[in-house]
Chains A and B, each alone.
Chain A
């Protein structure tokens, strides 16, 4: 009994002791948690305090600490720092950041801050931006969003931050998305390639991964392995990978030059095709043609200025018809007021239209100012994507598409409409066409409107790749005449083929002999060609052509 009691007592005692122990350990745990969170909070405070001085070395240290300690706020703080949105108030020792939406939040607590007057931005430089890329890379490798993981892997690949290696190894095993896993392996290969202590096995694996990527970055990384490696197996693997990448790059390089040529041709074609109509049909040397292009570009600027933000992405869809209209109206005005009095007097037309071009330039300069105007690229017109080893910038791609559309459209107008038929008749034999009852004056006016309007559309395209300034047109007028004269006057196919030849020839010559010399060589070739074939590639045949 007593034993039992004792036992009970013992039990009770032990229960009691257990209870105390549990309570104690809970307390201890609590205390630990509190102190550790205090410690962590202190560390975060210390880290954030480094931003307050706004000195580059301090900021760099803070970035390293945020990456190492990885408090939950780290990613947001680093992102803000990289985007110049991290704010400090050195007087009150407050660090805050501005969200993309514009709210200002305390960097530590995440609470909104009302009084924002005293804040200034933390400065960053390129060295810091690299550190931020590396840090956010390793911080977001485990992000639940696959796109973010992909971007993180890309960051690590570019910064080759060796500190990310352990996290990378851990993530590769867990990764389920094959795209992300590939990116992780590439990032690991990049780190291993630049590391001095990697094993031969690691290096062989890195070469294999990089060889599959096969671009310039991979080539330089493998090259680094080849220089570091002492193991003959690694060396020979690196050499064979290098030679295979080299061949691949050569082939894609040639394709890339061809693409650049196509793109240059599309710009030439757009600028010149309107001229092919006016010059071709009426034989008018219109030196103000470039200014029609310029007006089209300014029309794009005005459209972007007037459109509400919700429609900005569609600005080009509005700009194309407006640019066509504006340029066509100005073109008709020039034809009615000046050019028609000077038909059959080419030299005077040339001088008069040159004068018109100066007047138009100065008018635009007075209206809009001499400075370049900002025309923004809608999202679908910026950036680039890869097709194999080809890098295709989207703005150039759309401009090629537009050039093809304009070309096909004009062919349809010329060959499938009554206006087109009359236009061709006037082109081939003006007097006979007039005798058949075609009002040649009306056709001249319409042709001028069409040619100028198409130049306006070219302006919309050029606003996406060039300056929108009063001088925009001047840069294209010579090239346009070159295309038209080379291709053959009065023939759209001639203009098309002329633009294609000149564009591609230019872009093949440029990497070989340089941009300046390339243009000179091309000019000489054209002069020689015109000596041989004065009427260009596609000479028009007809009874009145010689007249």
Chain B
């Protein structure tokens, strides 16, 4: 089994590498700096991660066309961890030790990030992690360009509680059974209770990965929502389980005007596999939408279509995170005048680059970036239309103030503190 997977991934890697050699041409010269791309190109996560590999190749191409970084050309090294968590660690090691990459852009699921963490710490390299996650982490070698819970989940709940969002009083927290939904829902439940929502008005429910028979769950939501109080569903349902969930919602006639569903893992890519007409009005919370109308975004989408040669390929939030992360890395390298991870890590804090929604994102001392938050409604054409946004950018709370045990922690990687979990009560680093 693992042999087959390895052969497959080798073959895929060889193919990609070959294509790259053709495309990049002179990028194979001596004076090149290598960038690792650690995204699954096969297996269950390929659906989400393949796009991120493509966007990285585009960004590197573009940077080389501009003359590279510090006069050196960049070269992408693509590996395929095949949605296999231990393989992520193996491949990360290979990238850092064998290929000597200067930075790695990669991972999607939290479990893959946790699996590569020891490798990055031990070999002292840099990982850019582009996906929204549950927080409760800050590492010296990782830069988190996706959203922490307070940059996505909490603003979404705030919107639903507002008059515009329907003054929701009753909540279903529906998630897939793994770490991201469980932690996010814990934070959300604590937050809702702090806003005066009663226990009996919160229903938390989990389903297994790839769950496809949503009849009972959806009818449960329907029953919970018919108690006379305005009800909403906060969905941390992951990946493939979303399509049958939304199909069942449509079939059982739950309209967004009755019980809106706000999702944190459903973007333009996922909607591409769905007939969105029965779903119009259901919501998604992200830090970027393809439909955002700014010159920077328009230019990015045009370049993306040109690069992929597919005029209707969608863009999404984690892609923007990679754009921001990559530009930050370039800027930090220029600031440090060095590709050495140690120097780049120190130079990263405070670097500020334009995001695609018309503002600037800054790398904060906690290794997370500032982001605007958008709430979008699903449209009949599969796009998300902004109905609400934060007035400015939001600073990430990597340690949630709503959770026992993480309330007193802060992360600040500037010297002399240089700690990811400093306890302000005990005054000690280490939780």
Pairwise interchain contact A373-B273, C-beta atoms closer than 8 A: yes
Pairwise interchain contact B270-A382, C-beta atoms closer than 8 A: no
A395 interface residue (CB < 8 Å to B): yes
Interface residues of A in 433-483 (CB under 8 A from B): 465-471, 474-475
Q: Which residue of A lies closest to B83 (CB)?
A: A471
- For A467, give its contact among B8, B240, B269, B280 (CB under 8 Å): B240
* Dominant secondary structure of chain A at its interface with chain B: helix
**Shortest 9 CB-CB contacts between residues of A and residues of B:** A372-B273, A216-B226, A370-B46, A220-B228, A393-B251, A515-B207, A125-B387, A260-B215, A370-B47
Interface string of B46-75 (1 = CB under 8 A from A): 110010000000000000000000000000
Pairwise interchain contact A126-B216, C-beta atoms closer than 8 A: no
Pairwise interchain contact A515-B47, C-beta atoms closer than 8 A: no
Residues of the A chain whose Cβ atoms lie less than 8 Å from the Cβ of B164:
56, 125, 127
Pairwise interchain contact B244-A467, C-beta atoms closer than 8 A: yes
Residues of the A chain whose Cβ atoms lie less than 8 Å from the Cβ of B219:
256, 260, 391
Pairwise interchain contact B252-A384, C-beta atoms closer than 8 A: yes
Pairwise interchain contact B377-A126, C-beta atoms closer than 8 A: yes
A123 interface residue (CB < 8 Å to B): yes
Interface string of A257-299 (1 = CB under 8 A from B): 1001001100100000000000000000000000000000000
Residues of the B chain whose Cβ atoms lie less than 8 Å from the Cβ of A396:
215
- For A158, give its contact among B208, B252, B258, B377 (CB under 8 Å): B258
Bound together, the chains give a CA A364 to CA B332 distance in angstroms of 41
Known: A125-B377, A126-B166, A373-B273. A471 touches B256 (CB 8 A): no
Residues of the A chain whose Cβ atoms lie less than 8 Å from the Cβ of B379:
84
Q: Shortest distance in angstroms between B162's beta carbon and chain A's nearest beta carbon?
A: 10
Q: Shortest distance in angstroms between A351's beta carbon and chain B's nearest beta carbon?
A: 7
Known: A84-B379, A365-B42, A370-B47. A126 touches B256 (CB 8 A): yes
Bound together, the chains give a CA A470 to CA B83 distance in angstroms of 13
Pairwise interchain contact B217-A515, C-beta atoms closer than 8 A: yes
Residues of the A chain whose Cβ atoms lie less than 8 Å from the Cβ of B248:
393, 465
- For B210, give its contact among A221, A471, A510, A516 (CB under 8 Å): A471
Q: Which residue of B lies closest to A468 (CB)?
A: B273
Q: What are 13 A-B contacts defined by CB distance under 8 Å? A: A217-B226, A224-B228, A263-B213, A267-B213, A351-B1, A354-B4, A374-B273, A382-B278, A384-B252, A393-B252, A471-B47, A471-B240, A515-B211
A507 interface residue (CB < 8 Å to B): yes
B113 interface residue (CB < 8 Å to A): no
Pairwise interchain contact A475-B212, C-beta atoms closer than 8 A: yes
Bound together, the chains give a CA A264 to CA B252 distance in angstroms of 16
Pairwise interchain contact B377-A467, C-beta atoms closer than 8 A: no
Bound together, the chains give a CA A510 to CA B46 distance in angstroms of 30
Residues of the A chain whose Cβ atoms lie less than 8 Å from the Cβ of B408:
none
How many residue pairs bridge A and B at CB < 8 Å?
156
A383 interface residue (CB < 8 Å to B): yes
A133 interface residue (CB < 8 Å to B): yes
- For A365, give its contact among B46, B250, B275, B380 (CB under 8 Å): B46
Which of B8, B44, B251, B258 has the largest number of chain A CB atoms within 10 A? B251
Pairwise interchain contact A471-B272, C-beta atoms closer than 8 A: no
Pairwise interchain contact B8-A358, C-beta atoms closer than 8 A: yes
Pairwise interchain contact B251-A383, C-beta atoms closer than 8 A: yes
Q: Which residue of A lies closest to B387 (CB)?
A: A125
Pairwise interchain contact B228-A391, C-beta atoms closer than 8 A: no
Residues of the B chain whose Cβ atoms lie less than 8 Å from the Cβ of A112:
none
Q: Shortest distance in angstroms between A87's beta carbon and chain B's nearest beta carbon?
A: 15
A138 interface residue (CB < 8 Å to B): no
Give chain B's interface residues, CB within 8 Å of chain A: 1, 4-5, 8, 42, 44, 46-47, 50, 163-166, 177, 205-208, 210-213, 215-217, 219-220, 222-223, 226-228, 240, 243-244, 247-248, 250-253, 256-258, 260, 269-270, 272-275, 278, 280-281, 377, 379-380, 385, 387
Bound together, the chains give a CA A191 to CA B222 distance in angstroms of 21
Bound together, the chains give a CA A432 to CA B223 distance in angstroms of 59
Pairwise interchain contact A519-B273, C-beta atoms closer than 8 A: no
Pairwise interchain contact A223-B228, C-beta atoms closer than 8 A: yes
Pairwise interchain contact B222-A216, C-beta atoms closer than 8 A: yes
Q: How large is the interface on A (under 10, 10 to 19, 20 to 34, 35 or more residues)?
A: 35 or more
A376 interface residue (CB < 8 Å to B): yes
Residues of the B chain whose Cβ atoms lie less than 8 Å from the Cβ of A84:
280, 379-380
Pairwise interchain contact A216-B223, C-beta atoms closer than 8 A: yes
A308 interface residue (CB < 8 Å to B): no
Pairwise interchain contact B208-A515, C-beta atoms closer than 8 A: yes
Residues of the A chain whose Cβ atoms lie less than 8 Å from the Cβ of B243:
372, 466-467
Bound together, the chains give a CA A465 to CA B275 distance in angstroms of 12
Known: A219-B226, A371-B47, A516-B207. A510 touches B253 (CB 8 A): no
Pairwise interchain contact B228-A221, C-beta atoms closer than 8 A: yes
Bound together, the chains give a CA A455 to CA B247 distance in angstroms of 22
Pairwise interchain contact B273-A469, C-beta atoms closer than 8 A: yes
Q: Shortest distance in angstroms between A483's beta carbon and chain B's nearest beta carbon?
A: 14
- For B212, give its contact among A354, A384, A395, A465 (CB under 8 Å): A465
Given contacts A465-B212, A471-B47, A515-B206, 8 further A-B contacts (CB under 8 A): A264-B215, A361-B42, A373-B273, A374-B274, A384-B252, A466-B243, A467-B240, A467-B273
Residues of the A chain whose Cβ atoms lie less than 8 Å from the Cβ of B281:
125-126, 129
A110 interface residue (CB < 8 Å to B): no
Bound together, the chains give a CA A394 to CA B252 distance in angstroms of 10
- For B257, give its contact among A56, A129, A393, A519 (CB under 8 Å): A129
- For A382, give its contact among B213, B250, B269, B274 (CB under 8 Å): B250
Bound together, the chains give a CA A359 to CA B4 distance in angstroms of 9
Pairwise interchain contact A510-B275, C-beta atoms closer than 8 A: no
Residues of the A chain whose Cβ atoms lie less than 8 Å from the Cβ of B380:
83-84
Residues of the B chain whose Cβ atoms lie less than 8 Å from the Cβ of A358:
1, 4-5, 8
Bound together, the chains give a CA A507 to CA B211 distance in angstroms of 13
Bound together, the chains give a CA A377 to CA B212 distance in angstroms of 16
Q: Shortest distance in angstroms between A146's beta carbon and chain B's nearest beta carbon?
A: 21
Residues of the A chain whose Cβ atoms lie less than 8 Å from the Cβ of B272:
371-372, 374
Q: Shortest distance in angstroms between B138's beta carbon and chain A's nearest beta carbon?
A: 30
Which of B212, B215, B217, B377 has the largest number of chain A CB atoms within 10 A? B215
Pairwise interchain contact A130-B273, C-beta atoms closer than 8 A: no
Residues of the B chain whose Cβ atoms lie less than 8 Å from the Cβ of A10:
none
Q: Which residue of B lies closest to A369 (CB)?
A: B50
Q: Which residue of B lies closest to A227 (CB)?
A: B228
Which of B50, B206, B213 has the largest number of chain A CB atoms within 10 A? B213
Interface residues of A in 100-156 (CB under 8 A from B): 123, 125-127, 129-130, 133
Pairwise interchain contact B275-A257, C-beta atoms closer than 8 A: no
Q: Shortest distance in angstroms between A506's beta carbon and chain B's nearest beta carbon?
A: 8
Q: Which residue of B lies closest to A194 (CB)?
A: B228
Bound together, the chains give a CA A509 to CA B205 distance in angstroms of 14
Residues of the A chain whose Cβ atoms lie less than 8 Å from the Cβ of B250:
382
Residues of the A chain whose Cβ atoms lie less than 8 Å from the Cβ of B226:
216-217, 219-220
A355 interface residue (CB < 8 Å to B): yes
Bound together, the chains give a CA A373 to CA B46 distance in angstroms of 14
Interface residues of A in 373-413 (CB under 8 A from B): 373-374, 376-377, 382-384, 391, 393-396
Q: Which residue of B lies closest to A396 (CB)?
A: B215
Residues of the B chain whose Cβ atoms lie less than 8 Å from the Cβ of A466:
212, 243-244
Pairwise interchain contact A263-B257, C-beta atoms closer than 8 A: no
A362 interface residue (CB < 8 Å to B): yes
